[in-house]
Structure 1
């Protein structure tokens, strides 16, 4: 039999459909079956003759073909329970010469066994996707709750109650406090106690990201936005945090140009990726934090006043450790439990002398410094009790800075015993000791040490070179 170009016999077409694994049905505008193939009828336990001319819902369980034939709205990849199995159905409106005349429906898999075979083949891929999805979600989940904020002093409990009270709000929160007071823990706890707790918590340290990368980090970029841009572009942290909370730590270090772009996001609730032409709507709650005096920065013109008022809807000032009378021992014991797990130790405690010394210390680095001191002590601990001898050198000595010479009972330098040195050398020794102490407090973090000493980063690095501090 010779066939002309484009001519396929009718019975070939039906067999092609059957071999393709498709069950197919065609209905008119009233949902009456005009055509159904034998493969579909075989699965349904009926025949073509019995099905033609009947309402589709009387022949096919849970059918929506009659609805599609009326509405003209296609339904793709819809789950349809048939004979105890979930089949994948596609339903298309049938348009002839621009007129809706009926609908065409297909169902994948000729029998439940085919469906199970397909399901088993892709199951490991689904499991792998779910694994990485869960892993990614864990990376943007906050892990701290209000129960992790330890303290019983009035100055702390009052702040904690305020944070709990405002956590249900959608308003911006501004956390103020010295470095190491636990601002990120507060932000995390507020998020976990809010209506957004099931969505991402995304912390960003504005001081640690180079200025030229901050915009693309926050707002993402489109493909080809700049040399080296990732193919397909990249989502920014605001998109990742959608419906959740974004924590902007060290907001006082954000460059003025970026402050303006952040203000636009807060006002318009949308972002524009670097190199992008279309804005993307985002729904995030902002929690910002800083150790800087933003009001003073506003006066100096280094922080935008309009952004400050946008962020300063709810202000929470976290007290430094030295003002939390009675909390230091409680916090120390809580930190020791955490460190015991990391060091595989048990029953570590503080001697009464250490507790007394801790209560006398000013804790310029706050809880971060306290944790560093405890970790250092455990590293040199033989038994289970931390003594004065296990503490860093600057904590073993008196709180006053010692300079060459002997100290009297008040910790002051004796005029008789102190050798006379040029003032420049004496000041240099005091300066070097202050820098070493700051580095000890911050566990070697030079940026944090510079902040403690209230000097610029460049100046601190310059002095490190002068005093051979590595």
Structure 2
């Protein structure tokens, strides 16, 4: 019967809170994670009625005991201070008689609070920006620094787009400045004094998508706030919502978003009447949406709704003449921030920066210049100095001429990712930051190059 001990250890080692309740509402199992999540010890709760510790209306296990139907991947608030994603299932014996319920709950309180703080901070920054520069004569597109033809052509198209309410899709690699472009379009439009609400679709847990984007009515689900809560789309009413990494939207949310785009009406969870809204939609992605459509991962009708105006952010490797201007701009910016002097950039140093491929684009060169200001000692940044800040693979001998340019680039990119993961001891968030790319992009590259986790 050693299997029992293995099973017990498995349940106790699980990071999610696991609760088992019998048909009399008595708790017969409560693992370590449940103790940590709810600050209730096994000694306190085992063999006691679960309703002695939680309100009957706030318990998913009571709903499943009543309906005898499982609940999968649902957002739930068992307490006012706890947000969880819950999977709860009825348990039946050989005679198909209900004998209890098992509930597995993942604590996402920290994620929800961070998201709320981010939402609040973004709104405060937007309001502060409007107060600080209400009559700025400069174009909002001036934040897109560069003199290359590719960038100026994109800015001309974006400027024309700003004068309309047309739904816009911004394509481009990670780090090319898609959100900066979206903000510039908003700031150049007649909606500039209304909210600009950015939403990173790749950062929202799937179970929270609907409530985050569309909001909910009071009492629409267990734990819902009294008075309900507006979703991100409703918060952007009169202004602009920016859906970054839109390719990460689950298919069921794509259907709901399509309905909003078609009807200009938002339906909170638990509301069948809906509310008329006036929102400008700008979406962005670094993925190939047409390929996702072929794989049935992205709806074609939603793609055509979003793709009224299409803008493509050029990668930095196609903007070689902008590299010097960007380097000097970021060096001055961070020298001011850290009260440091700006190092000189000789011609040979600039040549090294121009030869580098910049897989992380603007984000990568910005991060590099910040590191240089913080760590570099001396008044001049030599070519050897800058090679010390770039990925090790860049300073290795070039590949044989038989290698094609795309393959050479992929080999360099793969090596850079391997080295970043090794330096960061496998921490993908730190590695992504060092590489100047998003964590979602890093996961995609790891999969592409078959790198071990």
Q: Secondary structure at the match of 1:202?
A: strand
Q: Summarize the Cα distance change of 1:398–1:388 in structure 2 as closer, same or farther, 3 Å threshold.
A: farther
Report the Cα distance in structure 2 between the residues aligned to 1:188 and 1:349, rounded to whole angstroms: 32
Q: 1:447 aligns with which of 433, 440, 449?
A: 440
Q: 1:290-337, CA deviations, whole angstroms, 9 ceiling, x for partnerless residues?
A: 001111111221110000000000001111000012011111112222
Q: Match for residue 165 of structure 1?
A: 160
Q: Which runs of 4+ in 1 moved over 6 A?
A: 139-144, 428-431
Q: Summarize the Cα distance change of 1:364–1:148 in structure 2 as closer, same or farther, 3 Å threshold.
A: same
Q: Secondary structure at the match of 2:230?
A: coil
Please state if 1:262 is matched with 2:257: yes
Q: 1:339 aligns with which of 334, 337, 346?
A: 334
Q: Summarize the Cα distance change of 1:197–1:317 in structure 2 as closer, same or farther, 3 Å threshold.
A: same
Please state if 1:352 is matched with 2:338: no
Q: Match for residue 142 of structure 2?
A: 147
Report the Cα distance in structure 1 between the residues aligned to 2:320 and 2:437, rounded to whole angstroms: 27
Q: Match for residue 238 of structure 1?
A: 233
Please state if 1:311 is matched with 2:306: yes
Whose radius of gyration is greater, 1 or 2?
Answer: 1
**Conserved? CA contact 1:349–1:386, under 8 Å:** yes
Report the Cα distance in structure 1 between the residues aligned to 2:186 and 2:447, rounded to whole angstroms: 31
Q: 1:365 aligns with which of 348, 351, 360?
A: 360
Shift, 1:445, TM fit: 5.6
Q: Secondary structure at the match of 1:246?
A: strand
Report the Cα distance in structure 2 between the residues aligned to 1:444 and 1:162, rounded to whole angstroms: 26
**Conserved? CA contact 2:196–2:241, under 8 Å:** yes
Q: Summarize the Cα distance change of 1:396–1:368 in structure 2 as closer, same or farther, 3 Å threshold.
A: closer
Provide the alpha-carbon RMSD of the alignment: 3.2
Q: Match for residue 127 of structure 2?
A: 138
Q: Summarize the Cα distance change of 1:221–1:398 in structure 2 as closer, same or farther, 3 Å threshold.
A: closer
Please state if 1:202 is matched with 2:197: yes
Please state if 1:253 is matched with 2:239: no
Report the Cα distance in structure 1 between the residues aligned to 2:204 and 2:276, rounded to whole angstroms: 24
Q: 1:230-275, CA deviations, whole angstroms, 9 ceiling, x for partnerless residues?
A: 2221111111110101000000111111000000000011111112
Shift, 1:206, TM fit: 0.4
Which consecutive unaligned segments of at least 5 residues does structure 1 have?
1-131, 414-427, 465-470
Shift, 1:192, TM fit: 0.6
Report the Cα distance in structure 2 between the residues aligned to 1:259 and 1:281, rounded to whole angstroms: 19
Q: 1:145-195, CA deviations, whole angstroms, 9 ceiling, x for partnerless residues?
A: 211111111111111111111110111010000000000000000011111
Q: 2:374 aligns with which of 370, 373, 379?
A: 379
Which consecutive unaligned segments of at least 5 residues does structure 2 have?
1-120, 134-138, 402-413, 424-430
Q: Secondary structure at the match of 1:341?
A: helix
**Conserved? CA contact 2:361–2:436, under 8 Å:** no
Q: Match for residue 38 of structure 1?
A: none
Q: Match for residue 59 of structure 1?
A: none
Q: Tell me the TM-score normalised to structure 1 length.
A: 0.59
Q: Match for residue 226 of structure 1?
A: 221
Q: Summarize the Cα distance change of 1:185–1:205 in structure 2 as closer, same or farther, 3 Å threshold.
A: same
Q: Tell me the TM-score normalised to structure 2 length.
A: 0.61
Shift, 1:448, TM fit: 3.3
Q: RCO (CA 8 Å, sep 6+): is it higher in 1 or 2?
A: 2
Superposition pairs for residues 177-192 of structure 1, below 5 Å? Answer: 177-192=172-187
Report the Cα distance in structure 2 between the residues aligned to 1:185 and 1:357, rounded to whole angstroms: 27
**Conserved? CA contact 1:141–1:201, under 8 Å:** no
Q: Match for residue 271 of structure 1?
A: 266
Report the Cα distance in structure 1 between the residues aligned to 2:178 and 2:216, rounded to whole angstroms: 29
Shift, 1:205, TM fit: 0.5
Q: Match for residue 394 of structure 2?
A: 399
Q: 1:272-291, CA deviations, whole angstroms, 9 ceiling, x for partnerless residues?
A: 11122330111101000000
Q: Summarize the Cα distance change of 1:450–1:267 in structure 2 as closer, same or farther, 3 Å threshold.
A: same
Q: Secondary structure at the match of 2:198?
A: strand
Q: Match for residue 433 of structure 1?
A: 419
